[in-house]
Structure 1
Amino acid sequence: MDSLAPLLTACVFFVGSHFLMSHPLRRAMVGRFGEKGFLGVYSLVSLAGFGWMIWAFSQSPAGEMYWAPTNAIWIVASILTLLAAILFVGSHKGNPAMPDPDGDVIRTLAAKVPTGVFRVTRHPMMWGFALWGLSHMLVAPRMDSFLFNGSLVFLALAGSYGQDRKKEASLGDAWVKWERQTSFLPRLSQLAKVEPRILLIGVIFWLAATWAHNLFGNYGAGIYRWVGL
């Protein structure tokens, strides 16, 4: 486990800095840097932490596999990453959870009837990250993978829960109404309501992302596991 200490340290910093800046340190940092300045510092610290995680992961020993990633597991993981891609792509349009220093845009969006991926979950971007991390733990069941990807899954889901509580406090009825119309957990039955354009872009993004594994010398992912390109 000592050989994984650098990765564990990076993961703790990445997750911990997010929670510290989002909650106990937020007010002081906003007072010091202003709302927009805070978002800039938050982004820089987050990028630095994620870069540290990636570097530490690349330097960590692979370790033993806890189970064999069979074809069935690869199929499940591929479906999860496809869903993650669709949710992530769709989350960039009309997302009331996006940073909004003044809160006006959020209130306007939260007052609308949810459409697209927001019919699936009110946190499509965070669930995209969580499903992405979970899928990678399934096909790479090693301790280094559990630390790296597990940190992303935990941060995405715990962060989403914390975001709901924070928005309830800052936006009041506007966010509560949005919560009543949406679901925290993904409702897969609502995928059929997602716009065809978002579905298409999500599939293209998924195909590109899974193909890109080859650029880093990794084994094929997604359909490229079975179709060599």
Structure 2
Amino acid sequence: MQPMSLLIVTGVLFVGSHLALSHPLRDGLAGRMGERGFQITYSVVAIATFIMLVQAWRGMPPEPPLWVVDDPLWTLASLIVLFASILFMGSLIGNPALPAPGAAKAAEAAPRGVFAITRHPMMWGFTLWALAHALVMPTPGQIVLSAIIIFLALVGSAGQDAKKARLMGDAWLQWAARTSFVPYARQIGGAAPWADTIPRPHALLGGTVLWLIATWAHGALGYMVAGIWRWMG
């Protein structure tokens, strides 16, 4: 199988298994296997298909970039990854979308910080992270990999909306009515103040630290030097 074909096939397996186990197959399998058994199976399948996807991507032959990557583009990509890191860290606390016992209680709170930006900050963090990588590594293989991650994150978020509405009922519907799927949509539409979108300290500090460590690790692990480290040293 050609390297690009293998990348696409493993991408379909990764996305397809994730969406199938998260939605149409979940209730039936969890009922037969028990919640713990299902979670173990889900994790094994997710990890295995992700490893297959990464190995297929690593097996791509050298490809010429589709456009010139200069300092302005690196600056843009670095800022996108910083914003994505802030969204991700902010999503870890008080997130009604996570499978936590206090999800319904969290949905009663007024949307603030990253949740005023979007009700799916974690998934948009993954989306922006993938987009930034495609910007600065514009090879066909990287663009396909980024597209796979973006598709899974956004389609998964839409599926999560439907699942949460079924599981949480009015609590989620009211949360969805006070938040937006697309970042800043409510602020642009005049339905919510921009001041609400200021990230909280744990998101801002945690996201910045994550960004600094992750971009430093790029160079330390032998990949392209990223973030502010490109202009230091």
Same fold by TM-score, threshold 0.5 exceeded?
A: yes
Aligned equivalents of 2:197 and 2:110: distance in 1? 17
Aligned ranges 1:185-200 → 2 under 5 Å: 185-187=182-184, 189=194, 193-200=198-205
Q: Give matches, 1:33-182, under 5 Å.
A: 33-100=33-100, 104-182=101-179
2:206 counterpart of 1:201: yes
CA distance in 2, matches of 1:132, 1:191: 23
Aligned to 1:225: 230
Shift of 1:196: 2.5
Letter in 2 for 1:180: A
Amino acid at match of 1:64: P
For 1:165 and 1:139, the matched residues in 2 are separated by: 34
Contact 1:4–1:61, Cα closer than 8 Å, also in 2: no
CA-CA distance at 1:164 after TM superposition? 0.5
Quote the offset at 1:125 in angstroms: 0.7
Q: Quote the offset at 1:119 in angstroms.
A: 1.5
Deviations 1:103-123 (A, max 9, x none): x52211112222332111111
Residues 90 and 124 in structure 1, CA contact (< 8 A), matched pair in contact too: yes
Any idea what SS the aligned residue of 1:92 has?
A: coil
Q: Work out the CA distance in 2 between the residues paired with 1:55 and 1:151.
A: 15
> After superposition, what is the alpha-carbon deviation per residue over 1:133-170, rounded to whole angstroms, capped at 9, x for unaligned?
00000111111101212111110011101111121122
Q: Taking structure 2 as the reference length, what is the TM-score of the superposition? A: 0.90
Partner of 1:211: 216
Preserved CA contact (<8 Å) 2:114 2:197: no
Aligned CA RMSD, in angstroms, stands at 1.8
Structure 2 unmatched ranges of 5 or more: 188-193
Conservation of the 8 A alpha-carbon contact between 2:81 and 2:211? yes
- The structural deviation recorded for 1:192 is 5.3
8 A contact 1:10–1:52 mirrored in 2: yes
Identity of aligned residues (%): 45
Q: Deviations over 1:68-120 (max 9, x none)?
A: 112221111111100011011111111111124xxx52211112222332111
Give yes or no for the alignment of 1:6 onto 2:3: no
> Alpha carbons of 1:197 and 1:110: their partners in 2 closer, same or farther (altered >3 Å)?
closer
